[in-house]
Amino acid sequence: MKTILPNYKEELIMKRINILLMVLFVFTSFQGCGKKEVVVEEEVPVDTLPSLPENPAAFVELIRLDSTIVLDIKYATTDNFTGEILYPEACCFARTCMAESLVRVSKKARILGYRLKVFDCYRPQRVQFRMWELVPDSRYVANPKRGSRHNRGTAVDLTLLDSTGSELDMGSGFDEFTERSHRNYQGLTEEQRENRELLTHLMTSTGFTIVNSEWWHYDYFDWKEFPLIDVSFDSLEYIGLSTADSIH
């Protein structure tokens, strides 16, 4: 018995130590899981904020970021200079960086009592070829061999709406390929000139540049950093196409 008792006590002690270690392991594991649960609970629900891709070259659909922006995508109808339906649906996709800038413009406009109305955003390059076939005039239609800033997802055609939802008088209509659409046109009324200046100020103060022959057209300042692409709308997912994935 004298030889067995010490071994028994030693075995009992080891069992208690093992039990304590198991309890400690379970406790710390539970604590770890608890910490993870707290982090998840503190996260902002995905559907409460616009989900923006981290890559500024990715594409987003503009109205998902700002539903107050009105879309009147002319090339999804026959109401455009070609008289043809060039887009299968009325969508406005843009590079994330440009879309974020447009949202800032929209906020500035709403403070002043106006809203943005968008006519065109990203344009597949195949559409550019069709436009050039009909109007091969580089003052109004970019040569598809060089491409348009629209084909890069870094250009937008737009105007302003007043509090009644009516377009401000800009002196000419969208895609009116005459001198009246030029920025230096001298035949504008004072109201038309002020309306153009308002739109120009809102856009250029938020990182956009102008085109002299079209009062409605604005380019994102960093447009050269993005390649020309020819991808259909249904292939542009919300957290979509990055530069690395683009089709040249």
| Angle (CA) 13 15 18, round 5° | 110
Contacts of 121 (CB under 8 A, 6+ apart): 62, 91, 92, 93, 94, 150, 153, 155, 156, 157
Establish whether 150 is an annotated binding residue: yes
Q: What pairs with residue 155 in β-bridges?
A: 219
Contacts of 131 (CB under 8 A, 6+ apart): 82, 86, 141, 144
What are the DSSP calls for 128-150, one per residue? HHHHHHH---TTTS--TTT--GG
Phi-psi region of 226 (alpha: psi -120 to 50; beta: other; left: phi over 0): beta
Establish whether 234 is an annotated binding residue: no
What is the Cα–Cα distance from 75 to 232, expressed in whole angstroms? Answer: 14
Residue with tokens 């195949």: 126
Backbone angles phi, psi at 237, to 5 degrees: -80, 165
- Strand (E) or helix (H) holding 210: strand 208-211
Nearest alpha carbon to residue 70 among 157, 153, 150, 161: 161
Question: Annotated catalytic sites, by residue?
Answer: 214
- Cβ atoms within 10 Å of 240's Cβ, excluding its own: 20
**Where is the binding site, in residues?**
150, 157, 217
**Where is the binding site for Zn(2+), in residues?**
150, 157, 217
